[in-house]
Structure 1
Amino acid sequence: MLLIWIYLFSIFHLCTFVDSVVQCEQKNVTVQVPDLLLPSITTTESLATWFYWKQGTQLNTNTIVHLTIHGYTYDHTYWAFPYQSPKYSYVDYVIENSNGSIVVVNIDRIGIGLSSKPDAIDVTVDSNANVISQLTTYIHNGAYKDIQFTNIILVSHSLGTLIAWTVASQTSYNQYIRGIIATGWLHVPNPVGTAAVVASIYPAQLDPVTSQQSVPPLYVTTNPANNTRQNIFYNINDADPNVIQLDEQTKHTGTVGELATLGLAILPTVTLSIPSNIPVLVVMGQYDIIFCAPLALSCDTSLIIKLRESSSYLSTIDTFVLLNSGHDINLHLNAQYWYEKALNWTLQHF
């Protein structure tokens, strides 16, 4: 119960009580979500965003933007986890250690958290990508601090990475994308881990946490039976039990529309359509059971990840493995090692 109150306090005061060095403004932006069957028909929805910058920094058009995209059954707090910051907060780490050269735009994806919740069948991988593309246009056109930012990097996790791939691969979406930091997703999954994820999904209305979130029909989440999130998303030998508990207490939802459109989004033809001038950093947890297994599907080293993934990109990709970590790399004890890699990679390329 204490952990849930910590979370609620952090949500209501997120932009007031973050680290004094890290400044934040919450802003809802208006987006159009296309109808699945008739894409020319759209509904007007609200996307919740948080803009973070370092106190005292003089921002300009060349300041780098990390646009963070969370995964399935998570919200924006995956990137700013409300526990022992900055140990588990990518946002705080990057802002505090980038000497003012990076700002972060964090979001609740459409259908999640404080954002609008359209019909589940209309919340797909592509409609998510469409919304992210609209947001990059807003960022470029001065929606935050009246600055027309030109260096936008998509920083994504899990389903968020599929969305980032889709954005970067389509000329109608990728106009303002300069790079991708793609975590928690590879082209070839581990069938055992994938089956475990599928088996864990059940209606959000049946869940003690997400039933309180007023979600429409066909929104789903992970079943808490048998410690599902712990077993799928974590290597418990590299995780704090309090983090795992708070994760369960603060989980969110996904949609059947997203599940139904994963198959096409994972194809190498998508990433092979990403222009070669968009650099990519691929980051995985060593023991991510959704994509990794001994021998044939090993994730033990960065070189192995590069060998597994290079043929699916036009550009030469960089890779990094967070040793001992499970799927949720932000929520493991050694998360800051990959935060450091993301920061250094960004500063080297931009």
Structure 2
Amino acid sequence: MAPINAISPLLLAGFVAARQCSNFLIPVDISSRQGQFQQVPVESNLDVGAFATRFNEYQKNYTATLLQGYQNLQGSYKISAQYCHPDNGSSSTIQLLTHGIGFDKTYWDLDYNNYNYSYVNNALENGYSTLAIDRLGIGNSSHGDPFNEIQAQAEVEALNAVTTKLRNGGISQIDHSYKKVIHVGHSFGSVQSLWLSALYPNNTDGVILTGFSAATQFLSYVVAGWNLHSARLNQPLRLGNASSEGLRGLAAQYGVTQDVVPRLQRFLEDAGADLTSQEVWNIVASTEVLDLIAGYNKTVAPLNYPSGYFASSDLTSLQYAFLFPGNYDIGLAVASEQTKQPVTAGELLTIGSAPKTSPFKGPVFVITGEHDVPFCGGNCYASVPNVTAPSFLTGVKAAFPSASAFEAYVQPGAGHGLNFHYNATAGYQAIQDFLAGNGLAAR
């Protein structure tokens, strides 16, 4: 296992040919009918832990407890996007990529190991253009009140607004319109893609759901396993306040940087501890020490998330929720921990509000890792109690009774975060093959 300073995602990124990509902001206006929640204390990590405890209480509904009524949210926001098209020009078909909780748009275009895990590259190789977005409230998209603004419904409306602009040529940085828009989601992004297809079935041409099933009973597993912290406290410089110059000065004074392993090893040796560099690396990478140093060298513009934005505690909680042990590169896992993103209180309180069925009449493909915890409880081949479907994934078909084609695919040996596993590209190609076989080949 390499030392932590040898596996920086920036050092392992490389130049990838046969693609043209640009990053920009897309202005959107949305109107969303959504909940008005009582705001409870979420300032400290203990407050956040208390929120998670109440959220997970058996046979109780914390959403209903905090719900005070409904509101019509109207606002103008900006959605951060990465647009890519093949070197030989843009096709008339584009894949609109929506990430899940804990990530941002880079989930689809991981630069680790010369972009070997990039979904975007696979789509481009098959002739598609892509638009990957940071969901409303996350990453470089507009942030907002974490209880009563950044909720699932508002994010779906923002996704629909971006979709409409793709169709009518309303994005100034893209010089033409797209006749066909395929919605590709991961996890919460899949929930939102299904949701869009239910509310606006004529605004999508194909639905690809990754890291998804119709099961909802395992959400508490993940919320507990995340060991949620306040995002601004978990990674204070990257996710917190831009005024943290005191912390940055201390980091420089004590050498808390990406080369912390040899420094910490010398410190421990001076204190009488006998630890190898590998053991020190394990301490740093697999505990919250990693999160305290993340961003000291990389942060340019801190994201300044307010209280009410939560983050998983460390790499071990990331592994539990997203990764299957033995089938992922630890260097990529460390990189993902260094670049993780939060979830809002409002998202957790409204994630269960998605429609159960969609009238969408086009093709639908669901692909989920064999050992997915959030949507299969760790076993996607398991039969579903009291349901006629033979497995969790095949059960998704009931949500799309009018689909022109439906296919469920279990990715062997993978966990929830499909894109982080060694066999990710095999799953990518299964998606492209399904699209090509069901009238949505790139043209």
1:105 aligns with: 131
For normalisation by structure 2, the TM-score amounts to: 0.68
- Could you list the per-position Cα deviations for residues 65-84 of structure 1 after superposition, in whole angstroms to 9, with x for gaps in the alignment? 11000001210111011202
Q: 2:148 aligned with 1:119, yes or no?
A: no
Asked whether 1:6 is paired with 2:91, we answer: no
**Counterpart in the other structure of 1:223:** 313
The Cα of 1:205 is off from its aligned counterpart by 1.9
Partners of 1:163 and 1:3 lie apart in 2 by 37
Is 1:42 the counterpart of 2:71 in the alignment? no
Cα 1:9–1:329 change in 2 (3 A) is closer
Distance 2:371 2:131 in 1: 29
**Matched ranges for 1:20-99 at <5 A:** 20-34=17-31, 36=34, 37=36, 40-57=72-89, 59=90, 63-96=92-125, 98=126
Post-superposition Cα deviations, 1:41-96, rounded to whole Å, max 9, x if no partner, equal 52222111111011122x35xx2111000001210111011202442110012112
Please list every run of 5 or more consecutive structure 2 residues that lacks an aligned counterpart in the other structure: 37-69, 241-301, 384-388
Query: 8 Å contact 1:151–1:177 — kept in the other structure?
Result: yes
Cα deviation, residue 33, structure 1: 4.5
Residue 368 of structure 2 is aligned to residue 304 of structure 1: no
- Structure 1 residues 77 and 53 mapped into 2: Cα distance closer, same or farther (>3 Å)? same
CA contact (8 A) 2:368 2:409 kept: yes
Give TM-score scaled by structure 1 length: 0.85
CA contact (8 A) 1:150 1:176 kept: no
1:3 and 1:246 in contact (8 A); partners too: no
Decide whether the 8 Å contact of 1:23 with 1:53 is kept in 2.
Answer: yes
- Structure 2 distance, partners of 1:184, 1:52, is 23
User: In the comparison of the two structures, how many residue pairs are matched?
Assistant: 328
CA–CA distance in 2 between the matches of 1:295 and 1:4?
31
Aligned residue among 219, 223, 230 for 1:197: 223
Residue 211 of structure 2 contacts residue 416 of structure 2 at CA under 8 Å; is this kept in 1? yes
Confirm or deny: 8 A CA contact 1:7 1:250 kept in the other structure. Answer: no
Kindly indicate whether the alpha-carbon contact (under 8 Å) linking 2:380 and 2:393 is maintained by their aligned counterparts in 1.
no
Q: In 2, distance between residues paired with 1:248 and 1:134?
A: 30
- 1:172-198, Cα deviation, whole Å (9 max, x unpaired): xx432101100112121453x732434
Select the residue among 216, 226, 234 that pairs with 1:207: 234
Alpha-carbon distance between aligned partners in 1 of 2:84 and 2:102, rounded to the nearest angstrom: 23
Alpha-carbon distance in structure 2 between the residues aligned to 1:247 and 1:295: 24
CA distance in 1, matches of 2:176, 2:11: 31
Cα distance, 1:206 vs. partner?
1.8
Of 254, 257, 264, the residue aligned with 2:343 is 254
Q: Is the 8 A contact 1:86 1:93 kept in 2?
A: no
Q: CA-to-partner distance for each residue in 1:267-300, whole Å, 9 max, x for gaps?
A: xxx242232x12110001001122224789628x
Counterpart for residue 159 of structure 1:
188
Q: CA deviation at 1:202?
A: 2.3
Q: In the superposition, relative to structure 1, how do residues 278 and 30 fare at CA in structure 2: closer, same or farther (>3 Å)?
A: same
CA 318–237 in structure 1, closer or farther in 2 if over 3 Å, else same: same
Higher Cα Rg, which structure: 2
The one-letter amino acid paired with 1:46 is K
CA distance in 1, matches of 2:7, 2:30: 32
- Whether contact under 8 Å (2:373, 2:379) holds in the other structure is no
The secondary structure found in structure 2 opposite 1:72 is coil
Computed over aligned residues only, the root mean square deviation of the Cα atoms, in angstroms, reads 2.6
Partners of 1:345 and 1:222 lie apart in 2 by 34
Change beyond 3 A, Cα 1:33–1:85: farther
Q: 1:18 to 1:103 in 2, by over 3 A?
A: farther
Secondary structure at the counterpart of residue 373 of structure 2: coil
1:272 corresponds to 2:357: yes
- 1:105 and 1:295 map into 2 onto residues whose CA distance is 31
Measure, in 1, the Cα distance between the counterparts of 2:86 and 2:11.
Answer: 24
Does residue 158 of structure 2 align to residue 138 of structure 1? Answer: no
| Separation (CA, whole Å) in 2 of partners of 1:39 and 1:141 | 29
Q: Which residue of 2 aligns with 1:175?
A: 202
Could you give the per-residue CA deviations for residues 79-135 of structure 1, whole angstroms, max 9, x where no partner exists? 011202442110012112x1x3x1000111111111110111211111110000000
Counterpart residue type for residue 137 of structure 2: G
| Unpaired stretches in structure 1, ≥5 consecutive residues | 11-16
Matching residue of 1:186:
213
